[in-house]
Amino acid sequence: MSIEDMVKIAPKAELHVHIEGTMEPELLFELAQKNNKCLNYTIEQCRDERKNQYNLKEFLIQYNDACKVLVSENDFYTIAIQYFTKAISHNVVYCEVFFDPQTYMANGVSFETIIKGLTKASEEIKDQLQAKWIMCFLRHLPEADCLELINQAEPYAHLIHGIGLDSLEEGNPARKHENVFRIAEEKGLCGKKGTNKTAHAGEESDASNVISSLYHLNVPRIDHGVRSLDCLNLCKALKQSEVALTLCPLSNIKLKVKERFFPDTQVVKELFNIGVRITINSDRPEIFGGYINDNYLCALEEFEEDERKFVLRQLLKNSFLASFMEEEEKVAFCAKVDEALDRF
């Protein structure tokens, strides 16, 4: 059995995927037409642009433009169902999915519309896939905007599994949102234990932003975090504290993160060998060139052929161990990983 087959059949969790980044070009243009939204490019140009290299700022401009086509509850349901269908085909059995309500609220869409559409989809597929929603704050926005989001979200706290922080790192330090995270926890938006918190850090900005996010936001998980390799002491601390990094290999290639900061380094292998709890994810798969199985195969290329089954087993288990599910569920899913891979 090839490693490709093992990746395909193995149960896995996805912890770093933005629902907005799963919209296929065909659906993007279908929704634009339905909602009378003008896109300044053709579907062919859209496909071509997604094949090209981006930097993060250029990508976010195009990404925000595309989000304007999502208007109704059914629109959000539709993009979620499209992602879940793809995830199920990659044998994702559990996922914690990011959504950026501030992006849509700026376009006049209510929080109620967003969360009802998304949760309708996750409820519909619950027998095949456990899907949870992580509400992200946009770090470039002021505190007042984030506090207003908390007010809008509080009545729907039972539908929100945790909170995150994304958007541009540069010029937007974690401490800017320390109060926001504290209040979100008080309002019940961070799960029953108040610990379901994560933050994008260490992608464009250096290791100091990872340290700052851990200190100011008290997060048990860092999204991306590849720049942790700039600081060996940080990596050792991540290992000791079992803080997980949600790596997205194809995203790092597409946005030239690896090319710019670690051109001669096998990032996944380095972090794995240090003992950091890393997971593999797709980020924005329709934009960055692959869903979760494609990212696993990309990551495993860094390892020798005779290492790959061992590495795959640990990465799959990490995907559950780093999640916000209950401990007994983590144990059960890890057992399913062993059951699947022990066939080979």
* Per-residue pLDDT tens digits for 72-100: 999 999 999 999 999 999 999 999 999 99
- The pair of structure tokens assigned to 120 is 């309708």
Amino acid at 55: N
Read off the pLDDT band of 58 (50, 70, 90). low
* pLDDT at residue 29, rounded to an integer: 93
- DSSP string spanning 19-71? GGGG--HHHHHHHHHHTT---SS-HHHHHHHHHS---HHHHHHHHHHHHTT--
Residue type, 157: A
Q: CB–CB of 178/217 below 8 Å?
A: yes
DSSP one-letter code for 197: B
Going from the C-alpha of 253 to that of each of 213, 218, 248, 266, 298, the distances in angstroms are 24, 29, 9, 12, 10
DSSP secondary structure of 285-324:
HHHHT--HHHHHHHHHTTS-GGGHHHHHHHHHHHHHHTSS
Per-residue confidence (pLDDT) for residue 55, from 0 to 100 = 65
In single-letter form, the type of residue at position 326 comes to: E
End-to-end CA distance of the chain, in Å? 7
Decide: 196 and 222 in contact? Cβ < 8 Å: no
Collect all residues with Cβ–Cβ distance below 8 Å to 141 and sequence separation of at least 6: 102, 167
Burial of 106 (0-12, 13-18, 19+ CB in 10 A): middle
Q: pLDDT by residue (tens digit) across 289-333?
A: 899 999 999 999 999 999 999 999 999 999 999 999 999 999 999
Counting beta carbons within 10 angstroms of the beta carbon of residue 266, is it exposed (0 to 12), middle (13 to 18) or buried (19 or more)? middle
For the cut 90, the answer to whether the pLDDT of residue 17 exceeds it is yes
Q: How far apart are CA 30 and CA 26, in angstroms?
A: 6
Tell me which DSSP letter residue 60 carries. Answer: H
Percent of the chain at pLDDT above 90?
85
DSSP letters, 139-173, are TTS-HHHHHHHHHHHGGGGGG--EEEEES--TT--
Q: Which are the catalytic amino acids? A: 203
Q: What is the mean pLDDT of residues 3-7?
A: 96
Q: For the segment 111-136, what is each residue's pLDDT rounded down to a tens digit?
A: 999 999 999 999 999 999 999 999 99
d(CA 174, CA 14): 24
CB 219 within 8 A of CB 240: no
Q: Coil, helix or strand for 282?
A: coil
Domain count, the chain: 1
Spatial separation of the C-alpha atoms in residues 115 and 133, rounded to whole Å? 9
Distance CA 77, CA 114 (A): 9
Report the C-alpha gap between 177 and 222 in whole angstroms: 15
pTM: 0.96
Q: Which two tokens stand for residue 323?
A: 């999640």
CATH number at residue 200: 3.20.20.140
Q: Answer yes or no: is pLDDT of 57 > 90.
A: no
Q: Which domain holds residue 11?
A: 3-341
